[in-house]
Structure 1
Amino acid sequence: MKTSITRLLLLAVVVTAVVAFSPASDTKKALETLSGTYADTKAVDWGRGTFGTRVFTFDKGRWSLLFTLALDPQMKQPVFVFRTVGSYKVLEKSATVPDAYNALFIEDKKWVTLKTADKQLAQGFGLDQCGFDIDKEKDISLTGCSLWKPVAECNEDHDLLALDKDGKLYFGLRPDDNNMCTADKRPARLNVPVVHTR
Structure 2
Amino acid sequence: MINLGILISGRGSNMDAILAAAKAGRMPGVRPAVVISNKPDAAGLRTASEKYGVKTKIVPPEGAKGWDYDRKVVEALEEAGVTPQNGLVCLAGFMRIISPEFVRHYKARILNIHPALLPSFPGLHAQKQAIEYGVKVSGCTVHFVDEGVDSGPVILQKTIPVMEGDSEETLSARILEQEHQVYPEAVRLFSEGRLKVEGRKVRVL
Q: Which has the larger radius of gyration?
A: 1
Asked if TM exceeds 0.5, the reply is no
Give the shorter-chain TM-score range. Answer: under 0.3
- TM-score normalised by length of structure 2: 0.23
Which has the higher relative contact order, 1 or 2, with Cα contacts under 8 A spaced 6 or more apart?
A: 2
What is the TM-score normalised by the length of structure 1?
A: 0.23
